[in-house]
């Protein structure tokens, strides 16, 4: 019986160590993403076309394609397969970009960090192709 408790203690100790090590790794960069400033982009200065942008920090990785036509955002699509588990969130955010016609969208409930990372990728795509 004593051996059982020794093994149980070792297993629980190992699990605790794994949790203590993994939590900081999973949250690396979270503060930076949370503090991102998302700017409006003047769409009158963005030419028509399909533009790509990205934002990467820690586990938040967004690669996007933004289609602009007649100075309006026509579509926004997350092109990064790493974000497929967040497909439902991505669709909500994509709709909000179209509704607001801006990378500066209201936070999707419960997904503040993902919203900021996605928004920054859209902002980067639009700003990279501003007309002179």
| Dist. CA 92–CA 86, nearest whole Å | 10
Burial per residue of 30-63, b for 16 or more beta-carbon CB atoms within 10 angstroms, e otherwise: beebeebebeebeeeebeeeebebbbebbebbbb
DSSP character string of 41-81:
--GGGB-SEEEEEEEEETTEEEEEEEEEETTEEEEEEE--G
* pTM, 2 dp: 0.75
CATH class of 31-128: alpha beta
| Dist. CA 114–CA 89, nearest whole Å | 9
Q: Is the pLDDT of residue 67 over 60?
A: yes
In this predicted model, what pLDDT tens digit does every residue of 25-44 receive, in sequence order?
Answer: 555 667 888 888 999 899 99
**pLDDT class for 131, splitting at 50, 70, 90?**
very low
**pLDDT class for 132, splitting at 50, 70, 90?**
very low
In this predicted model, what pLDDT tens digit does every residue of 116-129 receive, in sequence order?
Answer: 999 999 999 999 86
């Amino acid at each position: 019986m004593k051996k059982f408790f020794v093994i149980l203690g070792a297993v629980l100790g190992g699990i605790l160590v794994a949790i203590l090590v993994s939590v900081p790794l999973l949250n690396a960069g979270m503060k930076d993403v949370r503090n991102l400033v998302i700017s409006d982009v003047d769409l009158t200065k963005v030419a028509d076309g399909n533009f790509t942008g990205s934002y990467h920090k820690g586990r938040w990785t967004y690669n996007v394609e933004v289609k602009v036509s007649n100075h309006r955002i026509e579509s926004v699509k997350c092109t990064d397969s790493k974000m497929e588990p967040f497909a439902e969130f991505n669709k909500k955010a994509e709709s909000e970009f179209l509704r607001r016609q801006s990378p500066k969208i209201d936070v999707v409930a419960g997904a503040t960090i993902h919203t900021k990372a996605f928004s920054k990728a859209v902002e980067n795509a639009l700003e990279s192709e501003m007309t002179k």
